[in-house]
Amino acid sequence: MSEEKASVTLPDGKVIELPVVEGSEQEKAIDISALRSQTGYITLDPGYGNTGSCDSAITFIDGEKGILRYRGYKIEDLAEQSSFLETSYLLINGKLPTAAELQSFEDKIRIHTLLHEDVKSFYDGFPRDAHPMSILASVVISLSSFYQNEEGSPEEVSYLNSIRLMAKLPTIAAWAYKKSVGHPFTYPDNDRSYSENLLYMMFGLPVERFEVDPLIVEVLDTLLILHADHEQNCSTSTVRIVRSSGVNLFAAIASGICALWGWRHGGANQRVIEMLTHIQEDGGDVKKYIEMAKDKESGFRLMGFGHRVYKNHDPRASVIRKKCEQVLAKLNSNDPTLDIARKLEDAALNDDYFKERNLYPNVDFYSGILYRAMNIPVNAFTVMFALGRLPGWIAHAKEYTEDPKNRIGRPRQVYTGNVERAYTPIAER
């Protein structure tokens, strides 16, 4: 807590002083936690654009400068030098692991990759065209019924469940894909790395050897790192608030998966590729779609553009764009949507509407093109995002649980409904 105070003058002339809190990157906040008890007032901030819900030591974002760091490490360095499991360890445990710690973390995850055999039958109940996000959320919450009454302290149980989630989410996701194409489920092969195993379970078949280009494995691992955390976004805040009621980790993570699904959040990556494909099939007239996005009556937004926090550039998008160019060049792929994406980006970045509103490509703008190059089906793009975001959700659930100041998340409201009125019996209405 800094020595500074903020003064607020209330409508009746009363002045109150509120403490100012300063974060480790000199971000300042006015602590209003005693405001209501002192004055009767609450604050109103629809969409929480100005509201800090917690202290957090996990991820730092400076949206004006386009900075993203996990536990102090630059996202560009992690994307270049780390692995997804090492980054997951960093997020969850707060420090980079030693070689022995990483080995032990990887080993623990490796031995939990199988799903209980009874879970397999759940997949029979889903329709063939079920969206994989609905399967992912449903199977994750169902895991809580397999791991009840575990022995150990709450911390030990949560840690074991974190490992289970990290280990099993790729299996759950891959089987959702297998269900959609009617292929037999592929069991995990624990000799493979995390990302390779995911691709193996998605695309491996019992009738042939599975081989995958190491570049694809590397790029998938990088994509998972880029998605691994993003401080108090919609799904992470959901995980924290759901966890705050005292539910188990499976329930909190399942709720995060549901929150991620929407088009304003993780679901945007599916919408981006659908939009790019549509523009291409419509003749590739990028200008027409730029004009539509500017017209509020059209109901159309440029998917993959804009961000609540980034007002300069999304550093994840810059890494992904570079990878995209490399991968498509190496695979000799001529994906026409990349061309549409480049044109759309250039047109938007040179247009006053987008410039004035600081609308830049976000992480989802180019990720879909990469997923497509890996043959990931379009409706599974958001599932890939969820796999990447999992360690961030776990880290936030852990941080919340270990915070001695934690309370149930319970915002207030300004009521605008009817004032008290007399009940009219139905016969008199």
Please give the positions annotated as active site. 307, 364
Should residue 237 be labelled a site residue for ligand ACO when binding is judged by CB under 6 A?
no
Displacement of CA 64 from its chain's centroid (Å): 21
In angstroms, rounded to a whole number, what is the distance separating the alpha carbons of residues 237 and 309?
15
Question: How many residues bind ligand ACO, per CB under 6 A?
Answer: 19
Q: Hey, which residues between 265 and 284 contact ligand ACO (CB under 6 A)?
A: 265-266, 268
Displacement of CA 355 from its chain's centroid (Å): 26
Q: Hey, which residues between 28 and 87 contact ligand ACO (CB under 6 A)?
A: 47
In angstroms, rounded to a whole number, what is the distance separating the alpha carbons of residues 242 and 203?
34
Contact partners, residue 401, CB within 8 Å, separation at least 6: 154, 155, 158, 243
| Cβ distance to ligand ACO smaller for residue 266 or 391 | 266
- Six-digit token string for 83: 């692995």
Looking at 187, 210, 291, 308, which residue binds ligand ACO (CB under 6 A)?
Answer: 308
| Kind of pairing between the strands at 59-62 and 28-30 | unpaired
Should residue 196 be labelled a site residue for ligand ACO when binding is judged by CB under 6 A?
no
Should residue 357 be labelled a site residue for ligand ACO when binding is judged by CB under 6 A?
yes
Looking at 364, 366, 390, 398, which residue binds ligand ACO (CB under 6 A)?
Answer: 364
| Cβ distance to ligand ACO smaller for residue 386 or 397 | 386
Should residue 288 be labelled a site residue for ligand ACO when binding is judged by CB under 6 A?
no
Q: Which stretch binds ligand ACO (CB under 6 A): 132-140, 179-187, 237-245, 359-367?
A: 359-367
Q: Which of 192, 151, 216 is nearest to 373 (CA)?
A: 216
Should residue 382 be labelled a site residue for ligand ACO when binding is judged by CB under 6 A?
no
Interface map 106-145 toward ligand ACO (x if CB under 6 A):
----------------------------------------
Q: Which of 93, 115, 116 is nearest to 105 (CA)?
A: 93
- The least distance separating ligand ACO from the CB of residue 262, rounded to whole angstroms, comes to 9
In angstroms, rounded to a whole number, what is the distance separating the alpha carbons of residues 59 and 74?
10
DSSP 87-143: HHHHHHHSSPPPHHHHHHHHHHHHTT-SPPHHHHHHHHHS-TT--HHHHHHHHHHHH
- The least distance separating ligand ACO from the CB of residue 226, rounded to whole angstroms, comes to 10
| Cβ distance to ligand ACO smaller for residue 31 or 231 | 231
Residues in the chain, total: 429
Binding site for ligand ACO (CB under 6 A): 47, 264-266, 268, 293, 301-308, 357, 359, 362-364
